[in-house]
Amino acid sequence: MKKQPQTSLPHGTGSIARSGHFGQVTWPVLPEAAATAAAVSADCSECMACVRQCAFLDRHGTPKALADAYTANPQKIRDLAFECSLCGLCTTICPDKADPAAMFLALRRESTAAGETLLPRYKPILGYEKLGNSPFFSCYSLPEGCDTIFFPGCTLPGKHPHATAELFARIRRTIPAAGIVLDCCNKPSHDLGRQDHFETMFGELLNFLMSHGVRTVLVACPNCHKVFSQYAPAIRVRTVYEFLHENGLPDAITQSGTLPDAAAPTVDSVAEAGADMTVTVHDPCPLRDESGTHDAVRALLDSKGIAIVEMRHNRKKTLCCGEGGTVAMRANDLALAWGEARSREAQGKTVVTYCAGCANYLGIHMKTMHILDMLFPQPETAKTAPPAGLRPYLERLKFKRYIKSLPAAVYRERPTRVGERFVSMPRLDSKKMLAAASVAAAALLWLLISHFA
């Protein structure tokens, strides 16, 4: 097996080496909770700018007050950190350059390391993550000479399978040797403070890509973008929206300005949104600092003849959709408050976003569409509502079957254990796999979910 290179991942002020059978990754020394609390206490002037924008801080106090309370009652403040969405708005708008978001994430890590975090509460999201890492749903397909991969994330292939397939085909028109990887970046574990688990799983993924010559990752998921950007500096990460803006849309898309009714969670409302061709854009909070992506998304909509009316909070100052930080599993009212705030700012317009999670969560509150469903509309005869219930899991299996049918120099699925020596797994009969999944889809998927949760 080819020796895998060491990868440096700067984040803090130093690094520690973690070894494994799959190679060695040098991880950063992350800031201690006490250090981040001391910094916030010193920097925050309690100007209330962030408190006025955040229901969590409005309920529990200024960043300085929470940082100071950590000294007197650290366990209580560590527990409260799980009500923060980790969206980073407080850090962005702080005139004093304080970083409360880093403090709340550090508090989560400390809580989990101390065994205080009630992980069973997060069983649904951790089970979802584990399924994404499993050999059932993971898939690495790298053609000969591949140095660029498409990393669609967990939700997009299940909720928007047509757009995902069309997007990958578009990428390959420009980069014929582009590969594709279906796997989870483990951002849920990262944000829940499960740093050891995150490092093990993402480290294995990163080492595999690096050792097979991958140097560029095209992502559709904002959370995947944040993970790769923060922890994989040796790999160039770009959004597919920047790629599409620079390389153009498929010639086959001629329905300029048409909003496909298959794309939105609230299907019956899309026709109304298309009548005056005016939408508003929700920028996902993990990409709040990516101005190039903000510009690309708006340029793509403009190229389709779609007018945009911006919400008050946009681009760098965007709001969380409510799904961030898995707050809904701890304080659902705070999660819903974000969505309600977004709904008020949208003022009845169709919301276009470029995060599958945001599209799903905001769809609870308002008319919401994923931009890829607008750029890659389904044929009239194939339009249906987005998959729901167990269907997204079946769509992911079907999409994996499609990927397995493509020629590849390197193919693998995640092993059931991380820490053993990894070799490419043999191809299975894809027709038999899909037939078996189709015959007993519901029973099989419920079994998988319960097993991996």
Note whether 107 and 134 are same-domain residues. no
In a domain, 9, yes or no: no
Note whether 316 and 340 are same-domain residues. yes
Please give the pLDDT value at position 444.
Answer: 56
Give the number of other Cβ atoms within 10 Å of residue 348's Cβ.
11
The conformation of residue 409, written as its DSSP 8-state character, comes to S
354, 333 in Cβ contact below 8 A?
A: no
Give DSSP secondary structure letters for 180-242. Answer: EEE----HHHHHTT-HHHHHHHHHHHHHHHHHTT--EEEES-HHHHHHHHHH-TTSEEEEHHH
Distance CA 104, CA 69 (A): 13
Note whether 407 and 363 are same-domain residues. no
Give DSSP secondary structure letters for 72-94. Answer: H-HHHHHHHGGGS----HHHHH-
Note whether 107 and 131 are same-domain residues. no
358, 284 in Cβ contact below 8 A?
A: yes
Note whether 60 and 82 are same-domain residues. yes
Note whether 370 and 401 are same-domain residues. no
In a domain, 96, yes or no: yes
Note whether 357 and 279 are same-domain residues. yes
Please give the pLDDT value at position 300.
Answer: 97
Please give the pLDDT value at position 446.
Answer: 52
In a domain, 76, yes or no: yes
Please give the pLDDT value at position 450.
Answer: 52
In a domain, 2, yes or no: no
In a domain, 157, yes or no: yes
Number of residues that this document lists for the chain:
453
In a domain, 255, yes or no: no
- Could you list the residue range(s) of the whole structural domain that residue 354 is in? 267-375
Phi, psi of 88 (to 5 degrees): 85, 5
In a domain, 422, yes or no: yes
Distance CA 421, CA 434 (A): 28
SS3 66: helix
- Strand ranges across the sheet with 410-412: 236-239, 216-219, 148-151, 179-182, 139-142, 410-412
Note whether 137 and 222 are same-domain residues. yes
Note whether 222 and 311 are same-domain residues. no
183, 138 in Cβ contact below 8 A?
A: yes
Distance CA 73, CA 274 (A): 53
- pTM listed for this prediction: 0.84
Phi, psi of 15 (to 5 degrees): -150, 160
Note whether 353 and 441 are same-domain residues. no
Give the number of other Cβ atoms within 10 Å of residue 253's Cβ.
16
Q: What is the CATH number of the domain that holds 310?
A: 3.40.50
In a domain, 13, yes or no: no
- The alpha carbon dihedral of 8, 14, 17, 18 has a sign of negative
Please give the pLDDT value at position 388.
Answer: 77
Number of structural domains found in the chain: 3
Please give the pLDDT value at position 377.
Answer: 87
243, 176 in Cβ contact below 8 A?
A: no
DSSP H stretches of helix in 248-288: 270-275
Distance CA 340, CA 366 (A): 9
Q: Residue 179 forms beta bridges with which residues?
A: 149
Pick from 345, 375, 405: which residue ends a domain?
A: 375
Distance CA 230, CA 186 (A): 13
Q: What is the CATH number of the domain that holds 80?
A: 1.10.1060.10
Please give the pLDDT value at position 29.
Answer: 76
- The alpha carbon dihedral of 115, 116, 122, 125 has a sign of negative
The conformation of residue 2, written as its DSSP 8-state character, comes to P
Pick from 328, 343, 375: which residue ends a domain?
A: 375
Please give the pLDDT value at position 79.
Answer: 97
Note whether 369 and 288 are same-domain residues. yes
Pick from 69, 91, 113: which residue ends a domain?
A: 113
pLDDT tens over the chain, length 453 residues: 333 333 333 333 333 334 333 454 667 778 899 999 999 999 999 999 999 999 999 999 999 999 999 999 999 999 999 999 999 999 999 999 999 999 999 999 999 999 999 999 999 999 999 999 999 999 999 999 999 999 999 999 999 999 999 999 999 999 999 999 999 999 999 999 999 999 999 999 999 999 999 999 999 999 999 999 999 999 999 999 999 999 998 754 433 333 333 333 333 333 333 445 799 999 999 999 999 999 999 999 999 999 999 999 999 999 999 999 999 999 999 999 999 999 999 999 999 999 999 999 999 889 999 999 999 988 754 556 677 788 999 999 999 999 999 999 999 999 877 654 333 333 444 454 454 445 445 545 555 555 555
Q: Which residues contact 145 (CB under 8 A, 6 or more apart)?
A: 177, 409
The conformation of residue 154, written as its DSSP 8-state character, comes to S
DSSP H stretches of helix in 61-178: 63-72, 74-80, 89-93, 100-113, 123-133, 155-159, 161-174
Note whether 185 and 224 are same-domain residues. yes
